[in-house]
Amino acid sequence: MSVTLEEVWALFKETDQKFKETDRQFKETDRKFQETDRKFQETDREFQETDRQIKETGRSIKKLEELFTSQWGKLMESLVEGDLVAILNQRGIAIQDTTTRLKGKLPDGGGYEFDIIAHNGEAVVIIEVKTTLRPKDVTRFIDKLNHFKTWVPRYRHNILHGGVAWLSADAKAEEMASKRGLFSIRATGDSAAIQNPPAFIPRAW
C-alpha cells in the first residue's frame, strides 16, 4: 500500500496539531499549578497573619493579666495593711507603724521584695500577701525570712516574726504556715483577720 505525499503531509499536520494541543494542555496545567501555588502562598500569608494576630492577642491578654494581678495585689496589700496594726495588737505584739514594698538589691545582682513590714522599734513582722496561698509560697517565704536580717541589716537586732496573708488558701498551705510559726491572715471583702488559734505562739527569727 503506497502513501501519497498529501497523506504524509496530512499526517504531519495532524501530529503537529496534537503536539500543539498537548503543549497547550501542558501550559494550561502549568498555569493551574502556578495559580495553585499562588493560592498556597496567599493562604500561607493569611496563616502567618492569623498567627501574628493570635500572638498579638496573647501578648495583650498577658499584659491585662499582669495589670490585673498587680492592681489586685496592691488592693490586697492595702486591705491587710489597714487592719494589721489592730490584729497584731490583739495578739500581744504592740505594732505601731507599717510600710509596704521594701525592695533592695543583692550582691549577686538579684533582688528582694517584702510586701508589708510592721514594726515598733523592737519587733518586726513581715507579711507576704498572696491571692491564693500554696505550700510552695510558704516554703519560699520562710527562706526569705531566713535571709532578712542579712539582706536588711538595720533590723538585725530586732525580733522578727512572719506572716502570710491570703484571700484563698490550699488547706495544706494554711496548716503548714501555722506549723512553721507564721501568722495566717485571711483577707475578706473589707477586713483581715488572724486565723491562728488563740494559743498560737509565732516563731521568732
pLDDT at 24: 82
How do strand 192-194 and strand 123-133 relate by DSSP bridges? unpaired
H/E element holding 127? strand 123-133
CATH of the domain at 137: 3.40.1350.10
- pLDDT tens, position by position, 107-160: 888 899 999 999 998 999 999 999 899 999 999 999 999 999 999 999 999 999
Q: How many structural domains are present in the chain?
A: 1
Instruction: Name the residue range of residue 163's domain.
Output: 82-194
Residues of the chain with pLDDT under 70: 1-3, 5, 8, 12, 57-75, 189
Domain for residue 45, yes or no? no
CB 157 within 8 A of CB 122: no
Against a cut of 0.75, is the pTM above it? no
Cell of 116: 508589708
